[in-house]
Amino acid sequence: MKIVILDAYCCNPGDLNWDGLEQLGEVTVYERTKSHQVIERCHEADVLIVNKVDIGEEEMAQLPKLRFITVLGTGYNSIDIAAAQRHGIIVSNAPNYSTDSVAQTVFAHLLNVANRTQHYVLQNREGEWSRRSDYCFWNTPLIELSGKTMGIVGLGNIGMRVAQIANAFGMNVMAVTSKQQSDLPHGIMKAEMDKMLQTSDIVSLHCPLTKETERIIRKETLSRMKRGAILINTGRGPLVDETDVEEALQSGHLSAYCADVMCQEPPQKDHPLLKNPHAYVTPHIAWATREARDRLISLTIDNVRAFSEGKPQNVVS
């Protein structure tokens, strides 16, 4: 079995290994692959392992040996699932590998906004505290999370973990979810989108990117949010209209936008959100703890093994 990894670098820049995979077949690893290189590199492949490389009808039609694609991640919007079904190609993903790491990033962002930790560290480096007459100083609002309402859009593994942590902080949680209220644990209230937007002090996005959820946060929905609310996006960049979000920050309707994802990655260096003092953007690192990446590789190897044994798992096609 010939196995090709098209974009291995971000998952494994050299601190982990693919040893378990090499026991299952002949493995070729590419750190990065451009779209025009896919056919050449994969023409003999039985199995493809991809992260962000797009694999669609055009590619599948020219890869007659291809029988299995496993995504190095949970999201699989880079794969044309309908085309895979037409060509008899099974597609799997790696669910739940980064749940704790992403939830941790949500609260790293939220606590940074609430306590302005980074701001005061930088102020101290510039000697601001040392110049003061009092034993303490602050020049920004500081927020206590207990008693605030967090609205969560999407209550999968990550959304549920975020809700649990929010409850531990003493926050009220409202969730936009397909689950029934009777199936939700104590401390989570099911809500319609409008009600959640109108009520929440913080809104955190954890839904998959689909045609229905693309730009779910835009001028219209932003206008329904409480003035001064905080918006967090660790899901997918296109869940929001970035121009509308930037305008909401400029007007003060949003007090902060915390994001680990953007519509274009990497973004242009002059992107307005990278310059806005109320936007806190990290470079798609929520999933990238060593622990999460190690789980991701293990899950991916398990997917390939299961396919080779005729019992594919985590199938999304």
**284 is a catalytic site residue:** yes
23 lies in some domain: yes
- Single-letter residue type at 291: E
If asked whether residues 147 and 275 sit together in one domain, one would say yes
For helices 117-125 and 99-115, give the axis angle rounded to 10 degrees.
Answer: 60
Digitized pLDDT (tens) for each residue of the chain, 317 residues in all: 999 999 999 999 999 999 999 999 999 999 999 999 999 999 999 999 999 999 999 999 999 999 999 999 998 989 999 999 999 999 999 999 999 999 999 999 999 999 999 999 999 999 999 999 999 999 999 999 999 999 999 999 999 999 999 999 999 999 999 999 999 999 999 999 999 999 999 999 999 999 999 999 999 999 999 999 999 999 999 999 999 999 999 999 999 999 999 999 999 999 999 999 999 999 999 999 999 999 999 999 999 999 999 999 999 99
Output the pLDDT for position 193.
97
Task: Enter the tokens of residue 316.
Answer: 């999304």
The domain that holds 229 is classified in CATH as 3.40.50.720
pTM (2 decimals)?
0.93
Question: Could you tell me if 18 and 131 lie in one domain?
Answer: no
Q: How many helices (H) and strands (E) does the chain have?
A: 12, 12
Rounded (to 5) percent helix, strand, coil in the chain? 35, 15, 45
State how many domains the chain has.
Answer: 2
Does residue 266 belong to any structural domain of this protein? yes
Beta-carbon contacts of 54 under 8 Å, excluding residues fewer than 6 positions away, are 35, 78, 79
Query: Is 299 inside a domain boundary?
Result: yes
26, 144, 265, 309: the catalytic one is 265
Supply the pLDDT for residue 116.
Answer: 96
Q: Residue 81: which residues within 8 A CB-CB, separation 6 or more?
A: 91, 316, 317
CA distance 102 to 129: 33
Per the residue annotation, which of 116, 236, 293, 295 is the catalytic one? Answer: 236
Domain match, 127 and 213 both: yes
Check whether residue 216 and residue 68 sit in a common domain.
no
Whether 233 is in a domain gets the answer yes
Question: Residue 317: inside a domain, yes or no?
Answer: no
- 236 included as an active-site residue: yes
Question: What residue spans of the chain are helical by DSSP H?
Answer: 19-22, 38-42, 57-61, 81-86, 99-115, 117-125, 157-168, 193-199, 219-222, 242-251, 272-275, 290-308
Number of other residues whose CB lies within 10 A of the CB of residue 153: 24
272 within some domain? yes
Residue 313 domain-assigned (yes or no): no
Residue 94: its pLDDT value, please?
96
Q: What pLDDT does residue 17 have?
A: 92
Flag whether 315 is in a domain: no
Task: State the pLDDT at residue 77.
Answer: 86
262 contacts 237 by C-beta, under 8 angstroms? yes
Same domain, 254 and 134: yes
- Looking at the structure, do residues 214 and 302 belong to the same domain, yes or no? no
- List 119, 253, 284, 305, catalytic entry: 284
Same domain for 167 and 35: no
- The question of whether 206 is a catalytic residue gets the answer no
Give the model's pLDDT for residue 258: 98
26 and 133 share one domain? no
Structural domain of residue 10, as residue ranges? 2-97+290-308
**Same-domain pairing of 68 and 137:** no
Q: Indicate if 142 and 120 belong to the same structural domain.
A: yes
One domain for residues 7 and 93? yes
The reply to whether 34 and 47 lie within a common domain is: yes
